[in-house]
Amino acid sequence: DTGVSQDPRHKITKRGQNVTFRCDPISEHNRLYWYRQTLGQGPEFLTYFQNEAQLEKSRLLSDRFSAERPKGSFSTLEIQRTEQGDSAMYLCASSFRQGHSPLHFGNGTRLTVT
Amino acid sequence: EDKVVQSPLSLVVHEGDTVTLNCSYEVTNFRSLLWYKQEKKAPTFLFMLTSSGIEKKSGRLSSILDKKELFSILNITATQTGDSAVYLCAPRSGNTGKLIFGQGTTLQVKP
């Protein structure tokens, strides 16, 4: 499978715990995005990487959230001290930098905070 | 602030009907507009529109962009039950190429 891969598919955690998600983009893609989607809403932009550089972060991304893309390939999104409001689907997408390349999305990680 | 409004929010039709989904937007540094289909999991790419007035077509689906009036429409003709999904409109903004999504239109096609 050469699409965007996300792991785990589901995560259930207790409030206050830390969680980390992983995204493996399509290998030739140098742009990587994280989005969050709650029920009945469209995806909301969280952050963007070009290669290993994090170039944009949404105001939605509180200081409990951190994302990395250390070698410009896979990326991780960590949420510290989870809250019930963090329950959502976390989507990763990647694209080429050149031109108007569409974003290709992974199947997401569904987080439930109890 | 960037804003994307899709209408209707939900739609129920019968197989064979034609539907038109609407998307209006106000986005800074607009680059292009993309449509996605989402069935439970990952949004899947349908169209990318960069120029006004040029219709993009793929089978029974077609889409057009009006950059002056800031809207786009997605048409689906001869709908099938497999078209049931959430359709997302997403203008692309700025140098990062990030997409700004609308709330989506939930389409249900009944047999």
Contact B89, B102 (CB under 8 A): yes
The CA-based diameter of chain A, rounded to the nearest angstrom, is: 43
B98 vs A33: CB contact, 8 Å cut-off? yes
Band the pLDDT of B107: cuts 50, 70, 90: very high
Residue range B92-99: average pLDDT?
85
Return d(Cα B94, Cα A61) in angstroms, integer: 19
What pLDDT does B1 receive?
83
Phi and psi torsions of B15, nearest 5°: -50, 135
Q: Is the pLDDT of residue B48 over 90?
A: yes
What pLDDT does A82 receive?
97
- DSSP secondary-structure letter at B16? T
**The residue count for chain A:** 114
In chain A, residues with a C-beta closer than 8 Å to the C-beta of B32 are 100
Mark out chain B residues that contact chain A at CB-CB < 8 A.
4, 31-32, 34, 36, 41-45, 48, 50, 88, 90, 92, 96-104
Picking from A26, A72, A65, the residue whose alpha carbon sits closest to that of residue A49 is A72
What pLDDT does B40 receive?
84
Band the pLDDT of B53: cuts 50, 70, 90: confident
| pLDDT 10s digits, A47-72 | 999 999 999 999 878 899 999 999 88
| pLDDT 10s digits, A14-50 | 999 999 999 999 998 999 999 999 999 999 999 999 9
pLDDT over 90, % of chain B: 83
**The residue count for chain B:** 111
Q: Is the pLDDT of residue B13 over 90?
A: yes
Choose the mutation target among A58, A103, A109, A110 for the interface with B, i.e. most B CBs under 10 Å.
A103
Return d(Cα B14, Cα A20) in angstroms, integer: 43
Return d(Cα A102, Cα B43) in angstroms, integer: 11
Picking from A72, A100, A104, A91, the residue whose alpha carbon sits closest to that of residue A2 is A104
Which residue of chain A is at minimal alpha-carbon distance from B6?
A42
What pLDDT does B57 receive?
94
Residue range B26-47: average pLDDT?
93
In chain B, residues with a C-beta closer than 8 Å to the C-beta of A108 are 41-42
